[in-house]
Structure 1
Amino acid sequence: MDTNPPIDKKTLSVRALTRCAPVAFWLVVWQVASMLDSSSILLCGPLDALFALYRLSSTQTFWSSIWFSTLRIVAGVLLGYIIAGALAAASWHTSTVRILLQPALLAIKSTPVACVVVILLIWTGAANVSVITVLLLVVPAIYFALCAGFDNMDAGQRDLFEIFGARGRRRFFALIWPAILPYLEAASSTVLGMSWKAGIAAELIGVPAGSLGERIYQAKLLLETPDLFAWTFCVICLSWLFEHGAMALLRGTWPRAAKLALRAPRDLRASGHGSSDASLRAQGLLIGYANVPLSKPLDFALGMSSRLCLQAPSGTGKTTLLRTMARLQKPLDGALENAAQGRSMMFQDTRLVEDLDAIDNILLFARPGFTRKDARDLACELLPKDALSRPVRELSGGQRRRVELARAFAAPGELVLLDEPFAGLDAQVHSCALAFVKRHGAGRIVVFATHDADDAQALGAQILEL
């Protein structure tokens, strides 16, 4: 329900007046200033410019010039984004590429547009100079923005997608795109407007036949000041429309991109669970960081439908052991043999795609053949129905944890790792969550960390004390 109070007509009128008054003021200043120049050569009035625009717009030359320049500037922008994206992706995967590209792109970024245009005129001629000029403006700005987005991608979310084995379009649309989008928007808000300035400047220097730059240059030569202002107004309008239209499209890609991720093929590492030879064995396993062990060497053997409860005070290695089982880090010593097909994990901290609802978060990593109805039925075992269709950022902490618990068991894989899955749940919900794990853990190896010894007993789990 919309709780915002309605806006009355008087308020709307005041807002409209506040926006229009400054524009009207400067139009009056412009008109008065033009009247001081009786020849109208140095400065024409707004009415003269408007009449010139009306006269020009009735000619075929006007529209062909707009099409000529718009096509080339937009093409330069699109090519620049594509090239910058490819280079940024290559730099993200290979540091050598970034090292090699850095000086070249910094040099392009620092070179004045006029110098670039002059060099391009020598190399390519005037016809397409605006395309290449705009491209060279766009590539460095978007490249460095995308690199910043890749570098600052949330490590926890990357681990999440790694654990569940999401690849291809699912990984791009649900993980990479929301990470780089804020950086892309920030760079685009500047680049899109500057692209028109650079493109028209290139045409003014190169004067390609049929371009807006040529029309502006001719108006200057013939001292047709009203035409000069009319053509300039067209460039301003085209730049504004292009920038705001492109930015609206860019902002509208999220969370729509996540919906595309849901429709992508489920190219997950495991396609099922329940094989009779699923096992997880440790022999002399030593876990820790930077060669500093967190516990004594560990030995255990788990088979299908086994449940292992990790118990220890905080900071003594439960999460580290789970991360080692998940292959997110290597053991310091010993052997860990994992014959289970695939894995899923519920992390100690909440890791969800915040703008998706509970059902979509579950479906994002669900096993092939798992339908939306299946996801709803699974979620209803843990969550109230009114929590299913809301973005998970609007749910309580306990509800968010239950979404993650349902997601862990909807995913394919025979090894399920749960880090403090019952933390923050009241007694009734805690009991419901225990029953859920017991019910859906059949045919899987379930390893969970908890501070409550009763949880191990309720699930019939063997206890491993660190």
Structure 2
Amino acid sequence: MLRLTDKKSVREAAGYLSGVLVLLLVWHVIALWLNNPVLLPSPWKAIAEVVRMFLHPAFYREWLYTILRGLAGFAIALMLALCIGLASASWRPAWFLFSPLLGAVRSTPVISFILLALIWFGSENVPVFIAILTMLPLISFGIIDGIRNTDGELLEMANSFRVSRWNVIRHIYVPSLLPFLFNGMSNAMGFGWRAVIIGEVLSQPFRGIGSRMRDAQNYLNVPELIGWTLVAILTGYLFETLVRRAEKSLMRWKSVAS
């Protein structure tokens, strides 16, 4: 017999699958109604285009360039966020300094930063710069919230029993921080990939998903454009899922270790 968690997973999978099938059906009906493959191809033609792309070696070079740009932006944003977040959560002047900056960056439309970056940098660096700016506030505020939501009673108890600073950080601050950090990283992955690809579309670097999307648009190749769009969606979902899985694995490991 299926366990309760297995049944829940099956129901969730069935729900997602039903949603995808409904979306494909609506798409197919609209494509039949328009009867113009140049304007909107059928979903089956778009899926066939994705399969064709996956079978072509050049596809993986384009995909790899976008992935490397996104991961580079994520790594830099994470390092900066750790410095900014830890400083802002533990030192009030740092909070007053960085909070307005992070809020402004988070509220500014991505297109504004892209247009500025096109003036400041070469086309190859624009997507990485945009990834950093998009991901930095999300991860930073996650770190700040995690530290500020640390249980005050646990800190008082640790202080009363003269627990070492290292053990306080390891056993109190880190467990409080991790869920917020992973949530911030997951959101950053979701928004960051979109920003990277938008940056590629507008800056036209040598390789990348966004560059190929722009080429497809220039040549009115709608099936290829939709195919690259599906690849972009898959990329964001893949890395967001990896972060969530890493969080679950780490939490499971910590519970076993403790």
**What TM-score do the two structures reach when normalised by structure 1?**
0.50
CA distance in 2, matches of 1:257, 1:99: 34
Match of 2:24 among 3, 13, 27: 27
Q: Which amino acid aligns with 1:127?
A: E
Deviation, 1:17, is: 5.4
CA distance in 1, matches of 2:168, 2:255: 10
CA distance in 2, matches of 1:208, 1:38: 35
- 2:117 is aligned to 120
Deviation, 1:254, is: 2.4
Q: Which amino acid aligns with 1:128?
A: N
Match of 1:63 among 42, 57, 60: 60
Relative to total residues, which structure has the larger helix share, 1 or 2? 2
* Aligned residue runs from structure 1 range 30-179, under 5 A: 30-162=27-159, 163-168=161-166, 170-179=167-176
CA distance in 2, matches of 1:107, 1:82: 20
Deviation, 1:52, is: 1.4
1:253 aligns with 2:250: yes
1:244-294: CA deviations, max 9, x gaps?
Answer: 11111023222535778xxxxxxxxxxxxxxxxxxxxxxxxxxxxxxxxxx
CA distance in 1, matches of 2:27, 2:36: 15
Q: Is the 8 A contact 1:129 1:206 kept in 2?
A: yes
Q: How many residues align?
A: 253
Change (3 A) 1:96 1:20: closer
Q: Is the 8 A contact 1:91 1:97 kept in 2?
A: yes
CA distance in 2, matches of 1:135, 1:21: 36
Change (3 A) 1:98 1:259: farther
Q: Is the 8 A contact 1:174 1:257 kept in 2?
A: no
CA distance in 2, matches of 1:6, 1:110: 46
Question: Which one has more relative contact order, counting CA pairs under 8 Å at least 6 apart?
Answer: 2
Between structure 1 and structure 2, the one with the greater Rg is: 1
CA distance in 1, matches of 2:34, 2:255: 59
Task: State the identity %.
Answer: 26
Tell me which stretches of 4 or more aligned residues in structure 1 moved more than 4 Å: 14-19, 257-260
Change (3 A) 1:198 1:167: same
Deviation, 1:242, is: 0.5
Q: Which amino acid aligns with 1:165?
A: V
Q: Which runs of 5+ in 1 are unaligned?
A: 261-355, 357-466
Q: Is the 8 A contact 2:138 2:187 kept in 1?
A: no
1:353-396: CA deviations, max 9, x gaps?
Answer: xxx3xxxxxxxxxxxxxxxxxxxxxxxxxxxxxxxxxxxxxxxx
Deviation, 1:151, is: 1.7
Q: Which amino acid aligns with 2:23?
A: W
Cα RMSD (Å): 2.4
Deviation, 1:79, is: 1.7
Relative to total residues, which structure has the larger strand share, 1 or 2? 1
Deviation, 1:180, is: 1.6
Q: Which amino acid aligns with 1:54?
A: V
Q: Is the 8 A contact 2:31 2:37 kept in 1?
A: yes
1:131-189: CA deviations, max 9, x gaps?
Answer: 11111111112212221222221112223333343233x43332112112232244334
Deviation, 1:21, is: 3.4
SS in 2 for 1:43: coil
